[in-house]
Amino acid sequence: MNAPKRRILGIDPGSRMTGFGVVDVVGQQRLYVASGCIRTPDGAALAERIRVIVTGLFEVVDTYRPDETAVEQVFVNVNPAATLMLGQARGAVVSALVMKDLPVAEYTALQVKQSVVGHGKAPKEQVQAMIVRLLSLSGTPQADAADALAVALTHANHSHAALAAFTRQGLRIKGGRLA
């Protein structure tokens, strides 16, 4: 039986920059599809920044048509104003995905590092280097895009395990998703 292809969109939300990364999962293979950043205009009002994030993500979803999505759980910052802004960006990201009827999984930075590098204390650079290796990239993507690809790969590993477990239990799988 051929393994079905699942396309995962990973997102690293930020108030100034939201990274996205698209990865195809075919059996044990992880194939790079696309990645990039949605930059929000400095000094713009909240509504305008949110409009940029939502329409940007709509474009990404319409272009790459992912089956599943995964969003990085933002680490709670020491600065309350920054935490609020990060929360707002994250709310906008999840709103856009939900309105496109996509399932949204969440992973903490710790889970991402453990899944991609093997331990939770890995520095950012090691995560990036691992992304380049795991996806056979010819260059290092921008930091936010690399983080988004790492979230997508984390979801690929987690949901693969979940999928295998469900399959063993004899549950149905519909179009690559758990049904």
Nearer to a second copy, 89 or 131 (CB): 89
| 3-class SS letters over 70-102 | EEEECCCCCCHHHHHHHHHHHHHHHHHHHHCCC
Strands 68-73 and 17-26: unpaired
Q: Which of residues 1, 2, 28, 81 is near a second copy by CB under 8 A?
A: 81
Choose one: 31-39, 41-49, 120-128, 148-156; the region binding a second copy (CB under 8 A).
41-49
96 lines the binding site for a second copy (CB under 8 A)? yes
Contact status: 162 vs a second copy (CB under 8 A): no
Residues near 57 by beta carbon (within 8 Å), at least 6 away in sequence: 11, 18, 20, 38, 93, 96, 97
Neighbours of 38 (CB within 10 A): 23
Min dist. Cβ of residue 139 to a second copy (A) = 32
Subset of residues 100 to 129 that bind a second copy, contact rule: CB under 8 A: 103-104, 106
Question: Quick one: which H or E segment has residue 129?
Answer: helix 124-134
User: What does the alpha-carbon distance between residue 123 and residue 136 come to, in Å, rounded to a whole number?
Assistant: 20
Q: How far is the CB of 77 from a second copy (least distance, A)?
A: 7
Alpha helices (H) along 11-68: 46-64
What is the smallest separation between the CB atom of 144 and a second copy, expressed in angstroms?
Answer: 18
Among all residues, which ones are annotated catalytic? 12, 72, 144
Tell me the binding residues for Mg(2+).
12, 72, 144
Tell me the binding residues.
12, 72, 144
Q: Which stretches of the chain bind a second copy, using CB under 8 A?
A: 45-47, 50-51, 53-54, 74, 76-78, 80-81, 83-99, 103-104, 106
